Amino acid sequence: MSGTPVVIGPPRFADRADKALGDEALRSAVRNATQLLVDNRAAAFAGLAEPDLVRDAARAARTRILAKLPELLDQWSSRLEAHGGQVHWCADAEEAVAEILAIVEARGARVIAKGKSMASEEIHLNPALERLGKEVVETDLGEFIIQLAGETPSHLIAPAIHKNRFDVAELFSADAGRPISNEIPEEAAYARVRLRQAFLDADIGITGVNTAVADAGSICLVENEGNGRMCTSLPPVHIAIMGMERIVETWADLDLVLALLARSATGQALSVYTNVITGPRREGELDGPEELHVIVLDNGRSALLGGEFQEALNCIRCGACVNACPVYRQVGGHAYGSVYSGPIGAVLTPLLAAEDPAARELAEASSLCGACAEACPVRIPLHDLLQKLRARSGPADAGRARRVGFTLWSWLWASRPGYVLSTGAVRAVSPVLRRLPPAVSARLPGWAGAWARTRRLP
Amino acid sequence: MTSKAAFLARLRPAPSPAAPDTPPLVRYEPARRGGDGFAEAFTALGGVVHRGGLREGVAAAAAGRSPLLAVEGLDLGADLVWPGCGVAGAARAAVGVVRARAAVAQTGSVVLSAADNRGRAASLLPPVCVFVIDPDTIVDTPGDLLRSLAEPPSQLVLVTGPSRSADIELKLVVGVHGPGEVHAVIVSS
């Protein structure tokens, strides 16, 4: 599988995290944003009469749905095809990109308007389109900002969370060729006018899918700005990229997901636009796409089915875990080096890119505090999955010193004499360690020095 | 591309323990019901509700702004009529008036169908949108609406308030791509 993660900056998470920790502007932006989203989520959940019941029901529904996944995908696609939709089954990122490029070329398309789609980032679609000389315009305000900055999203829901309005004014002024004010309403007004023309000119609209509905053959997209509606109404072709697990069976299931999604993501009861699309335009409709293509993406997801990590596929991509995570809240999304950051990113990235050590080490980007599992609307036990991931790859990836250290430690503590000997030795040395001046103890090798900088040595 | 059969053959999920197939109904706190509930929720989102006649409601919503666009079949003497005016006409309109298929009291959502309105742009391109809602079509919850959907149209949208974004510093801005001002005219058809 090509793609996730795309590591920008130093190759190790610890080094990227250190870099982020030194960026006070970034830290302040991430801290404020995540706290606001956490508070908003809490307020919104107070609007549900029995929130835990709804979460339990959603978890049960997702479990039932995944158990029937092949059957539901089959039903859904047949129904969508009966309404004139076209479904493309793609085993990996390369296939998905190839399918999309084929549609683009067949239509002779030049301008492509994109709604927010994490799956499209996962398969690195934009560079492939740009290499063919296509003009790709990101139309979600946050995605538009980071496209101008040449960056990747730093948060599942608010991709430009790390940029402040001065950064944005600079980017918009360069784009416009004239000064754009740093007042946020002015910046939004600029984006509205700038992107309106892209919607009207676009040959193809590309979006993601929040969830498909099997019973009806529909796809559901939620958004707040209206750019999703624009991308799915104005251009003559709509391509929707869908992770294969993003499906529910019934309208009742969709109700559960919708009751939780916006509340968990932004604290709204519902996003402003909940679009339910069931095929291209029909007789008598003046607008709407002539062609609807749904790209169904596997790209490593099928490997999780039937295994101990299957629950990671329950994710509805709300970002609640990201906002709750003490690691994310300190360093932001770019430190993860993957399109999926925060706890769900730390679980999915190693699973979807299992052969990449840079992906595997993300399972270590956690203190296992469990705040993520607490926040997750579908109750994915993310902290348990992180622990399982570490158990799986830890021994293979551990450096020599670590392996020797752990082997020695477990050998010593496997017997009573070994235990007594080792703890006695530490007790004997302890008074000396405690009296080391801070300047010396902080320079002890490896984790001992790191420990000594903020804690007392044993 | 992989064939559907080959793609689905690779999916071997774990079987699910027996669980009820029908999820419980979602309940809300406080619960909003009927026309009054809808009006309360719609207003809380920043929308304006007009009761009384169709023409009066639309005139109040438009507040003299023009050109006025209306979907065909609405007797309003509008400057532009959709779909005849085309997308270019919708792009010029200051106010767009469309028919709602239904509304949801709990969330203040308005349900629009591409079938009823013969398309989408009339409710999307103008900066002000007026929804004409039959009070008999107002249901209590999103679940009620979804469960009543038999054969969905090519596109159905639940519109819950004016277009908005908080992508810059998480500060709320209203009216980014879709209409920034929304009105509901509640009249029996």
- Picking from A1-15, A125-139, A380-394, B51-65, which range would have the lowest pLDDT averaged per residue? A1-15
DSSP A81-127: HHTT-EEEEESSHHHHHHHHHHHHHHTT--EEEE---HHHHHTTHHH
Q: Do A232 and B155 touch (CB under 8 A)?
A: yes
pLDDT of residue A53: 94
Q: Does B165 touch chain A (CB under 8 A)?
A: yes
Q: Do B159 and A272 touch (CB under 8 A)?
A: yes
Per the prediction, chain B carries an average pLDDT of 93
Q: One-letter amino acid identity for A150?
A: G
Q: Name the closest residue on chain B to residue A184, using Cα atoms.
A: B168
Nearest to B8 among A54, A70, A259 (CB): A70
Count H helices, E strands: chain A? 22, 10
pLDDT of residue B5: 95
DSSP lists the bridge partners of residue B70 as B81, B97
> In the predicted model, is pLDDT for residue A2 greater than 50?
no
Neighbour order of strands in the sheet with B181-186: B48-50, B181-186, B128-133, B95-99, B68-71, B80-82
Residues of B in contact with A306 (CB under 8 A): 12-14
Per the prediction, chain A carries an average pLDDT of 92
Residues of B in contact with A165 (CB under 8 A): 168-169, 171
pLDDT of residue A59: 94
Residue keyed to tokens 């908003």: A40
- The rounded percent of chain A whose pLDDT value lies above 90 is 77
Residue keyed to tokens 């906002």: A323
> In the predicted model, is pLDDT for residue B97 greater than 50?
yes
pLDDT of residue A440: 82
Q: Where are the alpha helices (DSSP H) in A12-107?
A: 13-21, 24-45, 51-67, 69-82, 93-106
Residue B164: which pLDDT band, with cuts at 50, 70 and 90? very high
> In the predicted model, is pLDDT for residue A250 greater than 60?
yes
pLDDT of residue A1: 41
The answer to whether A278 and A216 have CB atoms below 8 angstroms apart is yes
Q: What is the pLDDT of residues A127-182, one digit of tens each?
A: 999 999 999 999 999 999 999 999 888 887 888 988 989 999 999 999 999 999 99
Q: What is the DSSP letter of B83?
A: T
Residue B20: which pLDDT band, with cuts at 50, 70 and 90? low
* pTM of the predicted model as reported, rounded to 2 decimal places: 0.92
Distance CA A367, CA A387 (A): 10
- Pick the residue of B3, B21, B26 with the most A CBs within 10 A to test the interface with A by mutation: B26
- Mean pLDDT computed over B113-140: 95
pLDDT of residue B173: 94
Interface subset of B 26-85, CB within 8 angstroms of A = 26-29, 31, 82-83
Q: What is the pLDDT of residues A254-288, one digit of tens each?
A: 999 999 999 999 999 999 999 999 999 999 999 99
- The rounded percent of chain A whose pLDDT value lies above 70 is 97
Distance CA B1, CA A144 (A): 30
Distance of CA B80 to the CA centre of its chain: 21
Give phi and psi for A333, each to the nearest 5: -80, -30
- Mean pLDDT computed over A96-120: 96
Q: Do A269 and B106 touch (CB under 8 A)?
A: yes
Residue keyed to tokens 């209203």: B174
Q: Do A89 and B3 touch (CB under 8 A)?
A: yes
Distances (CA, A) of A134 to A129, A152, A203, A327, B159: 6, 19, 10, 38, 32
